[in-house]
């Protein structure tokens, strides 16, 4: 697992639990890698490395370093996964997008027609792309600075089927079936909570601290958790790395135990 900061990540817990469950004597560790340091890190790796998980600020920096880029990663403009190819080069992929879909549909199988996404970074872009693949066509991006939404807007513009995207400030009212929060818990102000109190489904990608203010504000709503997303995207990575079906239950249980 590469990124910065990285010490809080649950990914090592999930992947190690998966390896134990299927009897693989593999390792999975967290490495602090800051912006601009990924090329040098990759050159130091030998053939024993099967793959890498990436978090910020490396998701966009990984794309030009890969020999092959999946359609999903290209559409998202970001990769959270690098898999070593037989020739020693890397293939870039994005499991955040299908992981978002799987996590949402596990908790809320009904269609989503209108969504509010809080934040405009790489995870927000993946959320928009994921929801668009399920048929959602109306999006509101709520951001502090409209300039921060540029990358997410580019993702929307690359979609084969057009979507309607509106930019508002954080805490501005917006009618929706679903609110997806990609912002830190400490950015979830009382004004923001009030603005989205009537939205029936909340998907908060944060998993620590939990519950976030957005989730705690109304306990009667359907909630999709950051752990749900983390488990599903990690399960997809697990299969890419090992070629084996992921032991989803064991990975989720390990994550719950670690958070508890």
Where in the chain are the domains? 2-94+228-259, 97-224
In CATH, 97-224 is 3.40.190.290: no
Per-residue model confidence as pLDDT tens digits over 62-95:
999 999 999 999 999 999 999 999 999 999 999 9
On average, the pLDDT of the chain sits at: 94
Cis peptide, bond prior to residue 172, ω within 30 of zero: no
Per-residue model confidence as pLDDT tens digits over 161-198:
899 999 999 888 888 999 999 999 999 999 999 999 98
Confidence of residue 121 (pLDDT cuts 50, 70, 90): confident
- pLDDT surpassing 90 at residue 227: yes
Q: Which of 19-23, 82-86, 213-217 has the weakest average pLDDT?
A: 213-217
Confidence of residue 149 (pLDDT cuts 50, 70, 90): confident
Q: What is the DSSP string of 196-209?
A: TTT-SEEEE---SS
Q: Which two tokens stand for residue 245?
A: 């079906």
Q: Which of 43, 50, 41 is nearest to 15 (CA)?
A: 50
CATH for 2-94+228-259 (3.30.70.240, 3.30.360.10, 3.40.50.970, 3.40.50.10860):
3.40.50.10860
pTM, entire model = 0.92
Q: What percent of the chain has pLDDT over 90?
A: 84
Residues that are catalytic: 59
pLDDT at 208: 87
CA dihedral (85, 42, 230, 146) positive or negative: negative
CATH topology identical between 2-94+228-259 and 97-224 = yes
């Amino acid at each position: 697992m590469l990124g910065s900061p990285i010490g809080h990540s649950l990914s090592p817990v999930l992947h190690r639990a998966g390896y134990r469950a299927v009897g693989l004597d593999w390792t999975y560790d967290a490495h602090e890698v800051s912006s601009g340091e990924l090329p040098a890190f990759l050159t130091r790796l030998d053939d024993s490395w099967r793959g890498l998980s990436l978090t910020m600020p490396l998701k966009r920096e990984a794309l030009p370093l890969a020999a092959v880029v999946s359609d999903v990663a290209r559409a998202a403009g970001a990769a959270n996964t690098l898999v070593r190819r037989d020739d020693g080069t890397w293939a870039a992929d994005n499991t955040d997008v299908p992981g978002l879909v799987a996590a949402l549909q596990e908790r809320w199988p009904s269609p989503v027609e209108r969504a509010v996404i809080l934040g405009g970074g790489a995870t927000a872009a993946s959320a928009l792309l994921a929801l668009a693949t399920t048929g959602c066509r109306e999006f509101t991006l709520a951001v502090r600075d409209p300039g921060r939404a540029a990358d997410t807007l580019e993702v929307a513009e690359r979609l084969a089927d057009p979507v309607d995207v509106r930019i508002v400030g954080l805490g501005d009212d917006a009618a929706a079936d679903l609110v997806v929060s990609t912002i830190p818990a400490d950015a979830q102000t009382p004004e923001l909570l009030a603005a989205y109190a009537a939205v029936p489904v909340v998907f908060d990608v944060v998993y620590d601290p939990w519950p976030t203010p957005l989730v705690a504000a109304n306990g009667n709503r359907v909630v999709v958790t950051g752990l749900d997303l983390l488990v599903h995207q990690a399960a997809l990575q697990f299969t890419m790395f090992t070629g084996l079906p992921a032991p989803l239950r064991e990975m989720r249980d390990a994550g719950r135990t670690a958070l508890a």
